[in-house]
Amino acid sequence: MPTKRTASKISPRTVVLVTLAVGLGLPGALFAAILLLSPLTKPAVIDALVGRVLGVDPATWPWTGLAEGVAVGILAFILVNFGAIVSGMTVWWEMRVSSRMQSRVGYNRAGAAGFFQWIADAVKLLFKEDLIPADADQILFRSAPYFVMAGFALAFVVLPFGESLIAADLNVGVFYLIAVTALVVVGILLAGWSSNSKWALFGGMRSAAQVISYEIPAGVAVMVPILMSGTLSMQGIVRAQGAWPWQWNVFTNPASTVAFAIFFISQLAEGNRTPFDLPEAESELVAGYLSEYSGFRFALYFLVEFGNLWVMAAVATTLFLGGWQVPFVGPEAYAAARGAELIPGAAWWGLEALSMVVMVLKTLVVLNLIVWVRWTLPRIRIDQMMNLCWKYLVPWAFASFLFTLLWQLAVAGTPALATVSGIALTAATALLLVLFLRQTRANLVAMGDRVDLTNW
Amino acid sequence: MPTTVREYTGSIRDTVKSFWHGLSITLSYLVRRPITVQYPDRTTLPVRDMLPPRYRGFLEVDASICTGCQACERACPISCIQISLEKDPQNPKQRVVTQFDIDEAKCMFCGLCVEPCPTGSIQHTREFEGSQADLRNLVIRWSDPLHPFPVYKVDKAAEYLPRVELGTLVRAKLAARAWDAPGPRFLPPEPPAAPAAPAAGDATPAKP
């Protein structure tokens, strides 16, 4: 061939090692930072540290508020970075998974298995010109991405990562979460309106209609775990559940299983994920509300869209799937390991890390489910989308809400009822899983194929 | 839109069933081998060897068996072949081909030139990679005035025509030229030299 490629000087082994180091080290460092910082940046701890290290009374020292603010600021910085990096890695993972589901290979050039592609894409977007259409509403157009970003970043305040690993365990956590995630709609609507483009306007309007409609079934479905645990606090909801599947909210109440399905579908719709990606339907609306965005502002929308996957998965895990509860480790174990010291001992940190691992694993499972659904179902029509919400999800959400009210009365009388339901539904789920895997195997064998994970 | 209870429950059942079967199908594809051929650098064979044998890629002329009949030039519907014949100055009975240019950039790979060739000298190969920074570099010169080749006289007694292996000649031509080689300059004809001093010739405005 006339083209002579200069051979790359980096050996494949180095590429794999660098990829592994970045791919595991980057999230690992962020998880470690969250693990360390979230218990240590609490105002009480900072106050005690100020009193002990500086020898001043934190109640009268004028800079106590500043010290607390700086500590929380550092934690916030780490959390936003965590959201951004998880978002980028989710893009890479989703592209790999989706391409294999479509018999393609996907990213495989930048780094081992194409892992650095998300970094390359982000850098490319940063270097692009930040175009603003001449007839766009300048101020709204420029400010819209910040609303979206704020709605995304604020959600991390109440996302639990482990037993004591949460930025702020608000006593109205779930309510707060639903409130701040609604900010994303404001940003999308602003983007659609200010672009002064028909595609963008239609996208923004569709998104507003869709997200506001699906807030209702989502909100009612969220009421089910709230009723079952009697608190709005995210950590409180997790503490009300057990570690084993038959102690999870999703199984201890038959209506909660329905509520979980409703919540999951509504989350997909609120995150504008396929099959509910009508606001940015490429075949109809170019890119919907994103049509006129470019460069960094576009990157922010993209970041939020994929970062929301983690938020959705973590919320579903917290509310229905037992959160960070570790088997055989009850609240007494945490209290015993915690002791009375200001900085707890290694045993407590180990337990916290364990609970974080459990939470992250569950979240990743749900995240993969969302990715999987996206590449399975085609986009639904707008009338079907509204039908689904108002004729199916809303009535069923209210039905499961009412059933839960009665169920809680029954459980208060006979506590064994929750256990029976939990074990029965767990067994049914396990059976369905086995049947599902058999069906998958049958699909594979029917085409004369076999499991073959080569050709990366 | 459901109007009866049966339709209502039926659509719920359909949704659950399509989730069940759809997710199962995509999961089964997740663990299969992708069929993608990773052109250009991760193929098991060079791609030209994976192409069908009658693929119509770049044209190749084997000068050793070209009779200089110009049938291919006449057959070409878009005149991308240019042939010139002259008498050999040393041997007036021998004609030589002084120009045999094929513009591969213009060629539409129809194969009409291959059909009338009496000896099979001009043929399509399975070569197709010829990226050039300059379009003019895609003109492949099988003969040029400095290196003409004599026309071939078919040996009636021969049982076959001694053609070299198909593809080797065009591959050598393509490999000899860097992708970013400067293209040939086709200048307008020189203006007639002015009888006066060369400085005056330079001063005359160039032909438009």
The parts of chain A modelled with pLDDT lower than 70 are: 1-8, 456
Looking at beta carbons, which residues of chain A come within 8 Å of B22?
Answer: 376-377
Q: What confidence tens digit (pLDDT) does each residue in A66-112 have?
A: 888 888 899 999 999 999 999 999 999 999 999 888 888 888 888 88
- Considering only CB atoms, which chain B residues are within 8 Å of A1? 129, 174-175
Q: Which residues of A touch B19 (CB under 8 A)?
A: 373, 376-377
Please give the residue that has the higher pLDDT: either A343 or B48. Answer: B48
Provide the CB-side half-sphere exposure for B208 (13 A, CA). Answer: 0
* Out of B27, B30, B38, closest to residue A105 by CB: B38
- Residues A123, A134, single domain; the answer is no
Question: Could you give the CA distance from residue A323 to residue A234 in angstroms, rounded to a whole number?
Answer: 9
Q: Residue A4: its pLDDT value, please?
A: 46
Domain for residue A61, yes or no? yes
Same domain for A118 and A161? Answer: no
**pLDDT for A8:** 57
Does A43 share its domain with A166?
no
Domain count, chain A: 2
One domain for residues A30 and A160: no
Q: Is the domain of A123 the same as that of A137?
A: no
Buried b / exposed e along A121-155 (16+ C-beta atoms within 10 A): bbeebeeeeeebbeebbeebbeebbebbbbbbbbb
Question: What pLDDT does residue B196 have?
Answer: 59
Residue A103 has its nearest CB partner, among B23, B24, B29, at: B29
| Domains of chain B, first to last | 47-176 (3.30.70.3270)
With beta carbons less than 8 A apart as the criterion, state whether A144 and A48 touch: no
Q: Does residue A141 share a domain with residue A104?
A: no
Residue of A nearest to B34 (CA): A103
**pLDDT tens digits along B72-127:** 999 999 999 999 998 888 888 889 999 999 999 899 999 999 999 988 899 999 98
Residue of B nearest to A96 (CA): B30
Inter-CA distances, A348 with A240, A331, A343, B51, Å: 21, 12, 10, 64
Give the nearest chain A residue to B18 (CA atoms): A377
Q: Is residue A337 part of a domain?
A: yes
pTM, two decimal places: 0.80
Q: Which residues contact B29 (CB under 8 A, 6 or more apart)?
A: A100, A101, A102, A103
Q: Give the pLDDT of residue B1.
A: 66
Distance from CA of B134 to the nearest CA of A (A): 13
Same domain membership, residue A89 and residue A76:
yes
Q: Does residue A12 sit at the B interface (CB-CB below 8 Å)?
A: no
| A379 in B contact zone (CB under 8 Å) | no
Give the range of the structural domain holding residue A179, as residue numbers without chain letter.
Answer: 130-409
State the average pLDDT over residues B137-162: 86
Cα A75 from Cα A83, distance rounded (Å):
12
Residues of B in contact with A3 (CB under 8 A): 129, 131, 179
Q: CB contact, 8 Å: B20 with chain A? A: yes
Give, rounded to a whole angstrom, the gap between the first and last alpha carbons of chain B. 74
Whether A456 is covered by a domain: the verdict is no
Examine the predicted complex and report whether its ipTM is higher than 0.85: no
Collect all residues with Cβ–Cβ distance below 8 Å to A398 and sequence separation of at least 6.
Answer: A220
Q: Is residue B9 within 8 angstroms of chain A, CB to CB?
A: no
Residues of B in contact with A377 (CB under 8 A): 18-19, 22
pLDDT of residue B200: 45
Q: Which two tokens stand for residue A132?
A: 């603003």
Q: Is A377 touching B (CB cutoff 8 A)?
A: yes
Task: Give residue B204's pLDDT band: very low, low, confident or very high (50, 70, 90).
Answer: very low
List all residues of chain A from 87 to 116 with a beta carbon under 8 Å from chain B: 97, 99-105, 108
Examine residue A293 and state whether it is found in any structural domain, yes or no.
Answer: yes
A300, A389: one domain: yes
Classified as helix, coil or strand, B116 is coil
Residue A437 domain-assigned (yes or no): no
Contact call for B22 and A100, based on CB within 8 A? no
- Nearest CB among A103, A387, A436 relative to B34 is that of A103
For residue B184, is pLDDT > 50?
yes
Domain boundary at A110, A127, A144, which?
A: A127
Residue (of B108, B109, B96, B112) closest to B63 by Cα position: B96
| Contact criterion met (CB < 8 Å) for B179 and A441 | no
The answer to whether residues A101 and A163 belong to one domain is: no
Q: Do B22 and A372 touch (CB under 8 A)?
A: no
Q: Which of A77, A94, A127 is the last residue of a domain?
A: A127
What tens digit of pLDDT does each residue of A214-264 get?
989 999 999 999 998 888 998 889 988 888 888 888 888 889 999 999 999
Interchain proximity A2–B1, CB inside 8 Å:
no
Are both A365 and A314 inside the same structural domain?
A: yes
Residues in A 278-337 with any Cβ partner in B closer than 8 A: none
Using the Cβ of B90 and the Cβ atoms of chain A, whether some distance falls under 8 Å is answered with no
Same domain, A66 and A136: no
A371 vs B197: CA distance, rounded Å: 81
Contacts across the A-B interface (CB distance below 8 Å):
88
pLDDT of residue B197: 54
Q: Which of B9, B12, B24 to mutate to test the interface with A (most CBs of A within 10 A)?
A: B24
Task: Please indicate whether, in this complex, the C-beta atoms of A452 and B24 are within 8 angstroms of each other.
Answer: no
Residue A339 lies in a domain: yes
**What does the block give as tokens for B177?**
């030229």
A97 and A65 in a common domain? yes
- How much is the pLDDT for A436? 92
The CA distance from B34 to B38, in Å, is 10
CA dihedral B68, B72, B75, B80 (to 10 degrees): -110
Query: pLDDT value at position A242?
Result: 84
Contacts of A268 in chain B (CB under 8 A): none
- Is B111 at the interface with chain A, CB within 8 A? no
